[in-house]
Amino acid sequence: IVLAYRGKYLLGGVITALFIALQILSNHIQMTYYFLFVILFMVIAWGVKAWYEKELLRFFKASVVLMVAALIGVSTNLPNLYHTYEYSKETMRGKSKLKQKGAAAVQTSSGLDRDYITQWSYGIGETFSLLVPNVKGGASVSLSQNEKAMEKANPIYGGLYGQLSQYFGDQPGTSGPVYVGAFVLMLFILGTFLVKGPMKQALVGATILSIFLSWGKNFMGLTDLFIDYIPMYNKFRAVSSILVIAEFTIPLLAILTLKEIIEKPQLLKEKIKYLYISLGLTGGVALLFALAPRLFFSSYIPAQEMYALQQSLPKEHLAPVLANLEEMRVHLFTSDAWRSF
């Protein structure tokens, strides 16, 4: 795509067609759909650049080449896409033949219902897992399997902790956090200041949108807008998986930042204040998490887990277990924050 917009129409078109075909062939339609948002931001960014530089003719030529390339890439997978589309009509992703009334009427008339779409919504505070992976405990595995957490465990309740999850975020469960790394995130933030051009704008825009959409039911205004008006958005569940965009765009801008620094060694000296800002927004935040974990997150025990413990434990054991459980999770979080720092 970038090659085409830089005037190398044939090469850009061939590579685009090839990799669109391979992407669809991987047969993960949801991830392919999400990547279209990245492409859309790229097209908009290059279009704005062409407008300011009065090169709209070249932009439209490149866009036509890319559309033809996209059609070629899609056509190689047409049988699989067609059968998937036909099959989806007969599943829960198809249009309901029943007329909904009452509370059910606010759900989607076609596609998945809102509750199902947003069941796996990333917590707003959980977004800091990009910097500190265990900000909400990490994966949904037994708490007793985590050595750091068990350092603070009361041995009397060891059997109980084997039944509790180390994850305490907003989602029903997770196989692991979305994490890019403190250094990579620092380079990404630095890149927003140092890197110039439409590619940076596209990557930053796509990153921000993916984070907002991953919040799902925690940011229903935007989520409702996309469910109601963006084609096919209501066909996919687990909105938290849209963070695959951030996992792609953040490292890519970090790489472009390194490229900029290597090619222009003096740039970092000239823009040293931006380096300090980037370090403050990553290392500084991680340090604050490590020093004052309860200042940022008031609860380390989800309401559902709290209710289950209240129902199953004798009153004399409830308070000590809750206090020790919070201590274990705080220790897990702060240990990870120190590592990121």
Phi, psi angle pair for 121, to nearest 5°: -105, 135
Is position 204 within any domain? no
CA–CA separation, 146 and 165 (whole Å): 10
Quick one: average pLDDT of 10-37?
93
Q: What is the pLDDT of residues 166-221, one digit of tens each?
A: 999 989 989 889 999 999 999 999 999 999 999 999 999 999 999 999 999 999 99
Domain residues for the domain of 5 are 1-78
Last residue of a domain, one of 43, 58, 78: 78
Please report which confidence band the pLDDT of residue 315 belongs to, taking 50, 70 and 90 as the band edges: confident
Query: Is pLDDT of 107 > 80?
Result: no
State whether 71 and 6 are in the same domain: yes
Is position 127 within any domain? no
State whether 292 and 162 are in the same domain: yes
State whether 293 and 168 are in the same domain: yes
Please report which confidence band the pLDDT of residue 106 belongs to, taking 50, 70 and 90 as the band edges: low
Using alpha carbons, list the distances in angstroms from residue 290 to 45, 268, 299, 338: 38, 29, 16, 6
State whether 1 and 74 are in the same domain: yes
Is position 234 within any domain? no
Is position 313 within any domain? yes
How many structural domains are present in the chain? 2
Is position 114 within any domain? no
Query: Is pLDDT of 97 > 70?
Result: no
Q: How far is CA 244 from the centre of its chain?
A: 5
Query: Is pLDDT of 306 > 80?
Result: yes
Higher pLDDT, 275 or 87: 275
Last residue of a domain, one of 50, 78, 106: 78
Higher pLDDT, 18 or 297: 18
Last residue of a domain, one of 78, 96, 117: 78
Average pLDDT, the chain: 89
State whether 164 and 297 are in the same domain: yes
Is position 195 within any domain? no
Higher pLDDT, 170 or 100: 170
